Structure 1
Amino acid sequence: MDLSSFSPDYLYAALVILAGFVIAFLARSLVKWLEAKAEQTDTYWDDILIAAIGTPVQVAIIVLGFYYGMTLFNIMPDSMAWVHDPNYAIAFWILISAWIISTLLHSIISIYGRRLAELSSSDMDDRLVDLLELVIRYVIWFAAILAILKVFNIDVTPLLAGAGIAGIAVALAAQDFISNFFGGA
């Protein structure tokens, strides 16, 4: 192996990537410590917030470590030149934000919705909480996908029109089911 052609940039890039993993590990340790502290409080809000941001932040740190390790020292292969397009960074942050918001709202609905559903004797509340959790999650991810498509200048009008038509079709098809559901039959 000839070391004369070895560039120190590869070593620096590896160190930056390794630093990303170390920082992500430290962030994970901090999240675990915060979770333990949050369990000692009387509210669930801090538990929900910490659980929602923990994993997405760790993933973001690792991805940023790779990104900066590869781009700061110009060792990015030509086939990955698309990474320098700022639209991909915006799309990445939209995905991370959608992940956090989806997890946050799912946890809020799950904890507080189930608590309210337990107060009634009917099981309809439990089913509505499950439905609301699912709908909220799909709406958030659908909005994130639409936002990402807009970032890349892709026209989302046909997609929105198709979603509207599909929604009307589902509503008409489920009309009897919904009336029986709310009627208690």
Structure 2
Amino acid sequence: MEFFHKTFYGNTVLEWSLAAAGIILSFIVAKMVYWLISRFVKKLTKRTANRFDDILVDMMEEPVVFVLIITGIWYSLHTLTLSAAMEAVLSKAYYVLIIVAVAWLITRLSDAIIETYLVPYVRKTEGKLDDQLLPIIRKGIKLSVWAIAIIVALDNAGYDVKAVLASLGIGGLALALAAKDTVANLFGSFTIFVDKPFVVGDRIKVKGYDGFVREVGIRSTRLQTLDGRTVTIPNQFVANESIVNVSSEPSRKITMDIGLTYDTAPEKMEEAMAILREIAASHPDTEETIVTAFTEFKDSSLNIRFIYYIRKGASVFGTQNAVNMEILKRFNEKGLEFAFPTQTVYHKPL
């Protein structure tokens, strides 16, 4: 028993042993609470029709266990005789860890609610702007919660928060000047989200690239070009460039100049234009608007201007191929000859 009454650093061995036992007990209690929540509480919440209680219990599980452990450690250490400075350090550390646990719980809970309720709703909507904004909103909530938690923790730790914020403001200004391109990209992304010149999935032409928008991030926009390559363009350039949104067209206009030989009779020209109108009108993927006109006497041909429109969503190349094959077939059947560049050379004998 004399050993347990020996004093080390202001406390007896017995007091150190009791403090250590309290810390171990806090871990045991936390483990039991974790087991009880997993074993019984979760089963009770699953029986209810409301999913919110399942989310709440699931997200509270780890933070509650963490709070129990640090509370047990704090209480066990406070049974010892400590210096005033050490008491102050332990108190500040305890409050900081409690704030961290609360911030951890809030971010977990908000993320779970967004994943359970907002994500399925956003997937059902037709617009794609909400799909782009949702990841930014999730990150913004987390950053805001942790920023507030850090400020409150610093205040509880005894730091002058106003001085810290002022120094951060000066440092932030210097950082903004050093990273002006990053700031410009951030404002560029904001412009894209507000103006909505395109959404994810649209085919656009920008800065000489033609491709489909795969992702609009905070810093850059990613395109998948028609040859399958990924191009990353900073948002400051996207926001300041002229953008052609190919996907926004109501239909694809196809313009053709078909040249027939000069020996084609007027009646045959009329027949050729009638055939073109019939081919375009009979195709299921073309619209009713069709234009045919005898437009020009070229050097080697009589030109017919043929304009038709392919419906939005239809295969452009597939429709063009079908129409062109039908034109070739019908013109050959009717004896309508396509012109090609020719020259007639007259030789005058000497």
TM-score by structure 2 length?
0.45
Question: Are 1:15 and 2:21 matched, yes or no?
Answer: yes
Q: Which consecutive unaligned segments of at least 5 residues does structure 1 have?
A: none
The answer for the alignment partner of 2:105 in structure 1 is 100
Alignment map for 1:128-139 (pairs within 5 Å): 128-139=133-144
Contact in 2 for aligned 1:98/1:144 (Cα 8 Å): yes
Deviation at 1:106, TM superposition (A): 1.4
Measure how far apart 1:26 and its partner are.
Answer: 1.8
Between stretches 32-41 and 170-179, larger displacement belongs to 170-179
Q: One-letter code of the match for 1:61?
A: L
Residues 92-119 of structure 1: per-residue CA shift (max 9 Å, x gap): 2211111111111111122111021121
Q: Which has the higher strand share?
A: 2
Asked if the contact 2:70/2:94 (under 8 Å) is kept, the reply is no
Which runs of structure 2 are paired with 1:1-185 in the superposition (5 Å)? 4-6=2-4, 7-32=13-38, 33-74=40-81, 81=86, 84=89, 86-151=91-156, 152-154=158-160, 155-158=163-166, 161=169, 172-181=184-193, 182-185=196-199
| CA–CA distance in structure 2, aligned partners of residues 84 and 163 of structure 1 | 28
Note closer, same or farther for the CA distance 1:40–1:184 as it changes in structure 2 (3 Å cut). Answer: farther
| Matched AA of 2:165 | T
* Contact map agreement 1:149 1:156 (CA 8 A) in 2: no
State the alpha-carbon separation in 2 of the partners of residues 61 and 137 from structure 1. 24
Structure 2 spans left out of the alignment, 5+ residues: 5-12, 200-350
Equivalent in the alignment of 2:213: none
Q: Residue 150 and residue 11 in structure 1: after superposition, are their counterparts in 2 closer, same or farther (change >3 A)?
A: closer
Alpha-carbon distance change, 176 to 70 in structure 1, aligned in 2, over 3 angstroms: closer
* Equivalent residue number for residue 311 of structure 2: none
Amino acid at match of 2:18: Y
Deviation at 1:65, TM superposition (A): 1.8
Larger relative helix fraction: 1
CA–CA separation in structure 1 for the residues paired with 2:23 and 2:165: 40
Seen in structure 2, the aligned counterparts of structure 1 residues 51 and 171 have a Cα distance that, compared at 3 Å, is farther
What is the aligned-residue RMSD (CA, Å)?
A: 2.9
Cα offset, 1:137, TM superposition: 0.6
Determine which structure has greater relative contact order: mean sequence separation of CA pairs < 8 Å that are 6+ residues apart, divided by chain length.
1
Instruction: Determine if contact 1:48/1:108 at 8 Å carries over to the other structure.
Output: yes
Cα distance per residue 1:150-181 (max 9 Å; x no partner): 222323332563598579x6664333333334
Moved more, 138-147 or 174-183: 174-183
- CA distance 1:184–1:18, change in 2 (3 Å): same
* Matched pairs, number: 180
Q: Is the 8 A contact 1:110 1:133 kept in 2?
A: no
**CA-CA distance at 1:183 after TM superposition:** 2.7
Could you tell me how far apart the structure 1 residues matched to 2:183 and 2:124 are?
29
The structure-2 alpha-carbon separation of the partners of 1:171 and 1:147, relative to structure 1 and needing over 3 Å to count, comes to same
Answer yes or no: is the 8 Å Cα contact 2:27–2:69 preserved in 1.
yes
Per the normalisation by structure 1, the TM-score is: 0.80
* Distance across 2 between alignment mates of 1:183 and 1:164: 31
> Contact 2:74–2:90 (CA<8 Å) still a contact in 1?
no
CA distance, structure 2, for counterparts of residue 88 and residue 126 of structure 1: 40
SS at match of 1:87: helix
